[in-house]
């Protein structure tokens, strides 16, 4: 009889450890803020693909935006920042439509994220995302920032704006130069000079925005390119290093709006 009771106790303890339900006070939403590697889905460890990087997810608890990479494609969505602590619903995630050699990880990640109804701390730098039955369906591990703001320092050619290549051979080729120490920029949008500052966030190493960028007021024969660049610049919320070595600037939906090259 005692052995049976011991077995029941052990089983109960194991279930509690793997559950999102806890007698402890739920941790605040701010605990999930930032970027996380997706290391386990439905009890199976995730194996990084050809790029040797894990799928990842980023929560911005100030705006309710969620973004990341599901294993092949970029993903984006939103969540309710006013939900009670411990509750989290992601629903259907939007994403890009690339095809990769193996889409299994991506399907598993997106399927699990669609089930998420809550979160719970899973140890140091780890988090559970749990379904409606309080069972962990995703395990996250805090992702160390591998991109430093200093990578932006210096002058960059603007090569693309909202998916369209900037024409070569322009009289004034568009560029942007960063002074990371002073947090300022200057450059040329295709006709007019641009100057201003940029803002970042301590909670997200890749965040950047350009509020209040000023430009001169000259008129040029073709202002279309300049208009596209300035519009894209106003939409920027984050940056990342591209596989080809350039810099990508992204909007709030994690869509690529500007491509920069040295």
pLDDT at 51: 47
The pLDDT of residue 21 is: 58
pLDDT digits (tens, 9 = 90+) for 10-44: 333 343 345 675 545 678 998 999 889 999 999 99
**CA distance linking residue 135 with residue 118, whole number of Å:** 9
pLDDT for residue 228 is more than 70 = yes
Q: What is the pLDDT of residues 120-179, one digit of tens each?
A: 999 888 999 999 999 999 999 987 666 789 999 999 999 999 889 999 888 899 999 999
How far is the C-alpha of 127 from the C-alpha of 33, rounded, in Å?
11
Q: What is the pLDDT of residues 81-131, one digit of tens each?
A: 999 999 999 877 898 888 888 889 999 999 999 999 999 999 888 999 999
pLDDT of residue 34: 86
Calpha distance 173→159 (Å, rounded):
10
Closest CA to 232 of 207, 210, 247, 205: 210
Q: What is the pLDDT of residue 152?
A: 96
């Amino acid at each position: 009889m005692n052995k049976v009771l011991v077995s029941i106790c052990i089983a109960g303890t194991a279930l509690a450890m793997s559950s999102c339900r806890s007698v402890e006070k739920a941790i605040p939403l701010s605990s999930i803020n930032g970027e996380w590697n997706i290391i386990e889905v439905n009890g199976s460890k995730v194996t990084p693909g050809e790029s040797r990087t894990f799928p990842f997810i980023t929560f911005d608890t100030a705006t309710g935006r969620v973004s990341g990479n599901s294993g092949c494609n970029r993903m984006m969505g939103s969540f309710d920042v006013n939900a009670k602590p411990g509750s989290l619903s992601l629903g259907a995630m939007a994403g890009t439509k690339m095809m990769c050699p193996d889409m299994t990880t991506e399907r598993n990640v997106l399927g699990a994220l669609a089930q998420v109804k809550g979160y719970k701390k899973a140890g140091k730098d780890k988090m559970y995302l749990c379904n409606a039955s309080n069972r962990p369906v995703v395990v996250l591990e805090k992702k160390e920032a591998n991109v430093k703001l200093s990578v932006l320092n210096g002058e960059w050619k603007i090569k693309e704006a909202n998916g369209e290549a900037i024409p070569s051979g322009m009289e004034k080729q568009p560029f942007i130069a960063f002074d990371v120490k002073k947090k300022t920029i200057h450059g040329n949008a295709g006709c007019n000079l641009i100057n201003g500052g940029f803002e970042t966030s301590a909670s997200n190493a890749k965040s950047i925005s350009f509020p209040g960028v000023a430009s001169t007021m000259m008129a040029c024969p073709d202002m279309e390119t300049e208009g596209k660049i300035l519009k894209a610049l106003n939409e920027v919320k984050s940056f990342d290093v591209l596989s080809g070595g350039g810099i990508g600037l992204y909007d709030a939906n994690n869509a690529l709006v500007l491509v920069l090259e040295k």
